[in-house]
């Protein structure tokens, strides 16, 4: 129990340490804005946070995969175009189809998606709070991660996270 409390505390600390790039819209919605300067930082910050929760549970750390990142980026943009968060592409593609197209030769273990105005660490915390998305992140055989997003002009962010081995 103490280990779980420490894990949650560590996650909250990561969120608190993330750069404050939020704004509030006229309707009171808080929007996490991703600047061009922060784009590369987000992938590594997300990787560090995922590895912190994985290693706290005795699991092997994962590393970024350019192919999984490319597949995640494509799907995030496509979800925005479709205006719905779901696991199928506008062309009927599945997550497996998309990672194969991106040249990933490993096994896809799972895909997490989100439609939100929140940042990467808040989104990770939401995924960790749900048993199904947490299982993807905490899959013991995972070795690779891809994380990407597409942010619309109104600030909405379409996140895609892929885990593979």
Full-model pTM: 0.82
Options 2.120.10.30, 3.30.429.10, 3.40.50.2300, 3.40.33.10; CATH for 36-164 is 3.40.33.10
The pLDDT of residue 127 = 97
Please tell me the predicted confidence (pLDDT) of residue 81. Answer: 93
State whether the Cα torsion 69-83-49-60 is positive or negative.
Answer: negative
pLDDT tens-place values along the chain, 165 residues long: 444 434 444 444 444 444 445 566 556 667 877 877 887 899 999 999 999 999 999 999 999 999 999 999 999 999 999 987 889 898 999 999 999 999 999 999 999 999 988 999 999 999 999 999 999 999 999 999 999 999 999 999 999 999 999
Q: What's the gap between Cα 159 and its chain centre?
A: 6
H or E element, residue 64: strand 63-64
Nearest residue to 47 (alpha-carbon basis) of 64, 32, 66, 60: 64
In the chain, domain spans: 36-164
d(CA 136, CA 94): 16
User: What value does the CA radius of gyration of the chain take, rounded to a whole number of Å?
Assistant: 15
């Amino acid at each position: 129990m103490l280990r779980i409390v420490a894990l949650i505390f560590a996650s909250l600390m990561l969120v608190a340490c993330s750069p404050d790039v939020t704004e509030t819209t006229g309707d009171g919605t808080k929007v996490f804005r991703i600047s061009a300067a922060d784009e590369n930082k987000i992938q590594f910050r997300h990787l560090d946070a995922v590895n912190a929760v994985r290693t706290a549970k005795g699991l092997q750390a994962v590393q970024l995969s350019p192919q999984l990142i490319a597949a995640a980026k494509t799907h995030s943009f496509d979800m925005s175009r479709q205006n719905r968060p779901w696991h199928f592409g506008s062309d009927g593609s599945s997550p497996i189809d998309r990672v194969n197209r991106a040249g990933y030769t490993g096994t896809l273990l799972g895909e997490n998606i989100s439609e939100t105005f929140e940042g990467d660490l808040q989104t990770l915390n939401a995924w960790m709070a749900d048993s199904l998305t947490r299982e993807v992140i905490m899959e013991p055989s995972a070795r690779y991660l891809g994380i990407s997003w597409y942010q619309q002009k109104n600030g909405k962010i379409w996140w895609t996270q892929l885990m593979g081995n």
